[in-house]
Amino acid sequence: MINKNNPVLEIKDLKTYFRTTLGEIKAVDGVSFTVSSGKTLGIIGESGCGKTVTSLSIMQLIKSPPGRIAGGEILLNGKNLIGLPERELQKIRGNTLGMIFQEPMTSLNPVFTIGDQIMETLITHRKMNRSEAKAIVLELLSKVGIPSPQIRINEYPHQMSGGMKQRVMIGMAIACNPKVLIADEPTTALDVTMQAQIINLLYTLQNEMGMSIVLITHDLGVIAETAHDVAVMYASKIVEYASVEDLFQKPLHPYTQGLFESLPALGNRDMKLRAIHGQVPNPLCYPSGCKFWPRCPHAEKKCREKEPRLEKISGRLIYCWKVAEEKSALYGPLFCEKSNKKDKEMNSDSSFHKELLQVKNLSKFFPVKGGFFSRAVGFVKAVDGISFTIKTGQTLGLVGESGCGKTTVGRTILRLMEPTQGEVFFEGLPIFSLKPKLLRKMRQRMQIVFQDPYSSLNPRMRVGEIVGEALSNHGLARGREVRELVENLFTKVGLSPSYFDRYPHEFSGGQRQRIGIARALALNPQFIVCDEVVSALDVSIQAQILNLLEKLQNENNLSYLFIAHNLAIIEYISHAIAVMYLGQIVEQLPAKNLVKNALHPYTKALLSSNPVHNPSQRGRSAPLAGDVPSAINLPSGCRFHPRCPIASKICSQEAPNLKKVEDNHWVRCCLVQ
Amino acid sequence: MSEDIEKTVYRHDDSDLPPHISNVKRFWLQLCQNPLAFWGLILLGLFFLTAISGTILTHGDNPIMDPEQVRLVDTLKSPLSKANIELLTPKERPLFDIYFLGTDKLGRDVLSRALQGAHVSLLVGFISVGISVLLGIILGALAGYYGNYVDSIIMRAVDIMLCFPSFFLILTIIALLPASIWNIMIVIGLTSWPGIARFVRAEFLSLRKQDFVTAAEALGLSKFRIMFVHMVPNAIAPVLVSATIGVASAILTESGLSFLGFGVPPPDASWGNILADGKEFIFDAPWLFIVSGTAILVTVLAFNLFGEGLRDALNPKLREL
């Protein structure tokens, strides 16, 4: 049942519209929900569904023009915030309503110390003097888990890590004991280990202070760990509104079901992901009738014609007349099926696959310049002695927290950066000693797909030209042929061939990623570095791209180096997994053994930091404390020992080597026998 | 039934993309939202028309309006005054026998001189800026792409160029060279590239880190192609803006030079030397400086306004879509 007792914040039929040159965008269209005292409401949905606009509307921070609140009520303790004069609102913001933003890097002012920034809210709202405020700030900082607050209070934002800054943001938001805390994607920009810490912090703070939280996220795991009630948003509307237990037990709306099924879960790699077809519609041209019907597997004629209302079924609200009529979830085309490809692969003898790429003792150091005449005063050891092999038609997953050197590995292998040391053999050819002419020829066989679908396509070129450029440049095709080949590639990656003459900005993130994949495939390579290809995408699109990559691998016998920070995705797509920490591989093992057989404490910590999709298991303590240390001053001995939960004396003295524990399984740890 | 749905689903897929707006149309929409830029553009259009029609009317052996025709009987006539028809030969008579904007101390028709001046200003503005943009883009691109020594050398050259007060540098060079409008253009062009080179270099430094440049490298494209096909079009927006404003400043520089007597050699007219001629008769024949001064003011203003509008229209951060 949805919590409706002691409502602190009630949103009734909220409508926020934006005026643009192409027409009015209904970013939030009739959204209602209730946040009870001391409870958390989670709002989940893909990007462009109106989650952030909802939160900004509650704070009355919508810029006008072009935006305006076109209707509805926002009741905070029974008082309507809409239409209040700016002075009144200023008293509420930061006082009874606190807010945390997604990007901790930009939401703190770089020219003030963090102490001053937190004090500012206290001085404004609580009319304190500086010394009173300072005492409270010190208390707050230790409350949000910042070590040695006496020193940290005088530091500037750039001196802190992302996780620390997010803690400071939380401290700032709770400084005045707000009744309601609005958290807009508070963990999205953070690593899993840091995410686990922040989730844990929010959980403890809520229990201590009894505040209500509105938590906006796209991650079902975060919802499962924090929320009491969940509102699922799609295309500016709430499509399902239920308590978290109900929702995770059985999602009813086809969109919610789709979200669940497009998410890889740890230890479940044999399942095939059921991606929701298509993408979130452009708010300028919403479909008629039900907003979800173009992507819904159960859509009927009636869905196109009549817009459903939110209807109450067994304690929850559903925006689907079909579910409402049948009073249960719809079954049919949406269910998990076993992918047969991986089974085949697992049964086959691994020696059947030829070794395609060998990396031997690869290192890449970046000089740190300083002093007179910018001499190198030190080195960032981004990659420090890494070796692995990738076989034909297989995927090696490279996983680790940000800053551990994953991306550098990918780029150095392709010689997009010059290595400091080591060798890479591609089909026996030493990549690092190739002459420029031969290297350009080799580039046809090894390609890369990037993380950011926005910066990876040249905004001034037509997408057809982007994909076809290399073909004509390497003399593989000319004129009419190029266009035909490109149109074939478009079909192959699931784009309409008619998009040839469009520009990148006209496409959504997922479509752009498909264009990036088409570009990589154009030269018919054998090996592709996939550098965080899905981490910038929404879950439903993420599943589409993962399925596409698998399909292409089967069809063309491609090998991937798949770089990601999400362990569940890595486990799903890879055949073998290498876990990196501070420039070194700490464990390498077959993907199917990851959950059962992982030995290194870091791998284990990553596994348990991954949010569990089970609301009854919440409130666990975060498995790893602290941050990744700087790669300039590496810890002595084992690089992981300062954070390692099982570290002993020997760990700080002796640097462990990669040990073979069984076939295809290596671990770098002194304590593992 | 289900077939019907499938068809509709597919059709919807095809129209998934937002309505196609060409870049030109988007740019135009953006420009029209800024009234000042819009009027700047209109004024620029008028300026071009004037300059082109001026060229047609005042050029050739027997022009329709002769800016160089001296009429000693009609000196310093005020605007709209009638020509002294009895004393003038048919060749000397102005168009419609009226001096629309008056005459100067030699009885030359100010309207035809101003028209010829528009042509000079247009030429100076565009050719000198063309030279500086070309140089600036090439040098800035090389500096930004290669970095290290190439960057140091080019940027030190830029610093040296920026050390000189450019107007006096131009004056010195012009004084040493034979007076000609082409020399002026080349000299202005060769002294105003450092700003543009800096812009392009800065853009290149940030573009260098963008994935599409790495992707082009990974595809095995040549450095030349990466620089000039992939990166330059992305670095061109600030250059265009500064070039537009650069045209205005080139026109001003030329006027200044002509005013000081180092510019367009007589008998050719330019707004600067009309102004210089007018300074002796500032109270007796105010139309001389009013006409040329207004022309310079309006043109420079139009270019600057348009440049501002261009900056907004080309800035992707200000785009709604």
Q: List pLDDT tens digits, range A357-409.
A: 999 999 999 888 766 666 777 788 889 889 999 988 899 999 988 878 888 99
Q: Across-strand partners of B310?
A: none
Residue type, A103: E
A659's enclosing H/E stretch is strand A658-662
With CB atoms and an 8 Å threshold, state whether B219 touches A473.
Answer: yes
Mutation site, B2, B10, B14, B16, interface A, largest A CB count within 10 A: B16
Q: Positive or negative, the Cα torsion across A117, A119, A122, A124? A: negative
Q: State the Cα–Cα distance between residues B216 and B227, nearest whole angstrom.
A: 10
Query: Strand A355-370 and strand A237-243: pairing?
Result: unpaired
Judge whether residue A429 has pLDDT over 60.
yes
pLDDT digits (tens, 9 = 90+) for A64-123: 778 888 888 899 888 888 888 888 888 888 888 888 887 777 788 888 898 898 888 888
Contact B102, B76 (CB under 8 A): yes
Contact A545, A510 (CB under 8 A): yes
**A vs B: CB pairs below 8 A:** 110
Judge whether residue B5 has pLDDT over 60.
no
Judge whether residue A531 has pLDDT over 60.
yes
Judge whether residue A350 has pLDDT over 60.
no
With CB atoms and an 8 Å threshold, state whether B230 touches A458.
Answer: yes
Contacting residues for A96 by C-beta, under 8 A, at least 6 apart: A76, A77, A176, A178, A179, A180
How does DSSP classify residue B229? I
Please spell the DSSP secondary structure of A592-626, one letter per residue. Answer: GGHHHH--SHHHHHHHHHSPPS-GGG--PPPS--S
Q: Residue A340's pLDDT band (boundaries 50, 70, 90)? A: very low
pLDDT digits (tens, 9 = 90+) for B75-104: 777 777 777 777 777 777 767 777 777 777
Read off the pLDDT of each residue in A211-231 and give the average, rounded to a whole number: 89
Judge whether residue A125 has pLDDT over 50.
yes
pLDDT of residue A371: 66
pLDDT of residue A559: 92
A277 in contact with chain B, both atoms CB, cutoff 8 A: yes
pLDDT of residue A241: 92
The two three-digit tokens of residue A129, written as one number: 């003097």
Mutation site, B4, B5, B149, B222, interface A, largest A CB count within 10 A: B5
HEC string of A441-470? Answer: HHCCCEEEECCCCCCCCCCCCCHHHHHHHH
Surface of B (186-225) touching A: CB under 8 A:
210-212, 214-222, 225
The two three-digit tokens of residue A416, written as one number: 């997009």
Q: Across-strand partners of A386?
A: A362
The two three-digit tokens of residue A496, written as one number: 């309409």
Q: Residue B131's pLDDT band (boundaries 50, 70, 90)? A: very high
Where helices occur in chain B by DSSP H, the ranges are: 2-14, 23-32, 35-58, 110-146, 148-163, 166-176, 181-191, 193-207, 211-218, 223-225, 232-260, 271-278, 287-314
Q: State the Cα–Cα distance between residues A514 and A535, nearest whole angstrom.
A: 14
Q: State the Cα–Cα distance between residues B88 and A191, nearest whole angstrom.
A: 90
Among B4, B218, B320, select the one facing A21 at the smallest CB separation: B320
Q: Across-strand partners of A28?
A: A16
CB atoms within 10 A of CB B202: 15
pTM: 0.81
Of the listed ranges A440-449, B47-56, B123-132, the one predicted with least confidence: B47-56
Judge whether residue B20 has pLDDT over 70.
no
Among B8, B17, B212, select the one facing A458 at the smallest CB separation: B212
pLDDT of residue A347: 43
Of the listed ranges A304-308, A545-549, B21-25, the one predicted with least confidence: B21-25
Judge whether residue B317 has pLDDT over 60.
no
Please state, in angstroms and as integers, the Cα–Cα distance from residue A177 to each residue in A76, A165, A180, A599, following that order: 15, 19, 9, 43
Q: Residue A348's pLDDT band (boundaries 50, 70, 90)? A: very low
Please give the mean pLDDT across all residues of chain A: 85
A369 in contact with chain B, both atoms CB, cutoff 8 A: no
pLDDT of residue A560: 93
Judge whether residue A336 has pLDDT over 60.
no
In chain A the first and final C-alpha atoms are separated, in Å, by 50
pLDDT of residue B316: 57
Report the percent of chain B where pLDDT is more than 70. Answer: 89
Q: Residue A332's pLDDT band (boundaries 50, 70, 90)? A: low
B24 in contact with chain A, both atoms CB, cutoff 8 A: no
Q: Residue B6's pLDDT band (boundaries 50, 70, 90)? A: very low
pLDDT digits (tens, 9 = 90+) for A431-450: 898 888 888 888 889 999 99
Contact A463, A500 (CB under 8 A): yes
Q: Residue A203's pLDDT band (boundaries 50, 70, 90)? A: confident
pLDDT of residue B142: 93
With CB atoms and an 8 Å threshold, state whether A519 touches B14.
Answer: no
Residue type, B172: T
Q: Which residues of chain A have a CB within 8 Å of the CB of B217?
A: 416
Q: Tell me, what's the ipTM?
A: 0.78
Q: Residue B18's pLDDT band (boundaries 50, 70, 90)? A: low
pLDDT digits (tens, 9 = 90+) for A207-220: 888 899 999 988 88
How many Cα atoms within 13 Å fall on the side-chain side of residue A455?
A: 12
Contact A550, A562 (CB under 8 A): no
Contact A591, A576 (CB under 8 A): yes
pLDDT digits (tens, 9 = 90+) for A145-173: 888 888 888 888 888 877 888 888 888 88
Q: Residue A2's pLDDT band (boundaries 50, 70, 90)? A: confident
With CB atoms and an 8 Å threshold, state whether B320 touches A282.
Answer: no
Judge whether residue A338 has pLDDT over 50.
no
The two three-digit tokens of residue B63, written as one number: 């022009």
Judge whether residue B4 has pLDDT over 50.
no
Query: Strand A658-662 and strand A67-76: pairing?
Result: unpaired
pLDDT digits (tens, 9 = 90+) for B156-196: 999 998 888 878 888 888 888 887 788 888 888 888 889 89
Read off the pLDDT of each residue in A561-583 and give the average, rounded to a whole number: 90
Q: Which residues of chain A have a CB within 8 Å of the CB of B321?
A: 20-22, 505
Among A294, A506, A523, select the one facing B20 at the smallest CB separation: A506
With CB atoms and an 8 Å threshold, state whether A450 touches B214.
Answer: yes
Please state, in angstroms and as integers, the Cα–Cα distance from residue B74 to each residue in A325, B78, B86, B98, B108, following that order: 97, 10, 12, 11, 8
Among B4, B12, B212, select the one facing A457 at the smallest CB separation: B212
